[in-house]
Amino acid sequence: MKVIERIQEYIDNQYKTPKGIIGTVIGEKMVKQHKPETLWTIQLLNIQQSESVLELGCGSGYAMKLLLEQDKANSVIGLDLSPTVIRSAKLRNKKAFLEEKADFVQGNVKSLPFEVEQFDKVFSIHTIYFWDELSFTVSEIYRVLKPGGGLVLTLCDGKNDVIWDGVREMIEEQLIPIMKNQGFSEVEVVKGPNSRQYHTIAVLGKK
């Protein structure tokens, strides 16, 4: 493998599971990069008073901070594979963590360590690309959602004039059919703001 390819592989792995000092820096970089779609996702969630919320792939905790500042959710839990970014998320949400309004869990999306029907809302921003088993993860999300609960999955499907056919096919041929077969209703794709020339979309569903 060429040096450039090794460097790119290292960077890709850091975006998937940030580690160490470099991982901390990348986690903070993603906060800045993803601000437009994060703000939009918070609007889509439309959190109501005393709801419980789960973020899959919480990263450095910026979306959680925005939700907690609304002072509506009863609890906000962030799950991530990376202990590095979980540390950053705890620091960013230290007050809420100490007040037990926020919590952070290291874990995998295909086996969620939560009770049945625990959350009113589940969301994820830019993590679905890294999900190994869509069917397992969608099944787990459905399990932990309360009846009537909502799901928001935010991602990008292109940049400038280029559409990413692989992502489009994944959504149309895998994700949406899996969600419907699992039992999600009102499944739809909505268009969001462009972020650094990337096309933002979200896949929505209700239990």
Q: Does 152 score more than 80 pLDDT?
A: yes
Percent of the chain with pLDDT over 90: 71
- Which of 4-8, 64-68, 109-113 has the least mean pLDDT? 4-8
Q: Does 134 score more than 60 pLDDT?
A: yes
Q: Where are the domains of the chain?
A: 27-206
pTM for this structure? 0.86
Do the Cβ atoms of 127 and 175 come closer than 8 Å? no
Per DSSP, 184 falls in state -
Give the type of residue at 103.
D
Percent of the chain with pLDDT over 70: 84
Give the type of residue at 71.
D
Mean pLDDT of 80-84: 89
Helix (H) or strand (E) holding 20: helix 20-33
* Residue 26: predicted pLDDT: 53
Domain spanning 27-206: which CATH class is it, in words? alpha beta
Name the region of 46 (left: φ>0; alpha: ψ -120 to 50; beta: rest). left
Q: What is the pLDDT of residues 11-65, one digit of tens each?
A: 444 444 554 545 455 555 565 567 899 999 999 999 999 999 999 999 889 999 9
* Residue 4: predicted pLDDT: 42
Mean pLDDT of 177-203: 95
* Residue 86: predicted pLDDT: 92
Instruction: Specify the higher pLDDT residue, 129 or 2.
Output: 129
Q: What is the pLDDT of residues 90-128, one digit of tens each?
A: 999 999 999 999 999 999 999 999 999 999 999 999 999
Confidence band for 1, pLDDT divided at 50, 70 and 90: low
What are the C-alpha distances in Å from 143 to residues 62, 151, 165? 26, 12, 30
**Alpha carbon distance 173, 165 (integer Å):** 11
Q: Does 7 score more than 50 pLDDT?
A: no
* Residue 8: predicted pLDDT: 41
Q: What is the mean pLDDT of the chain?
A: 87
Sign (positive/negative) of CA torsion 65, 31, 57, 39?
Answer: positive
* Residue 25: predicted pLDDT: 52
Q: Does 206 score more than 80 pLDDT?
A: yes
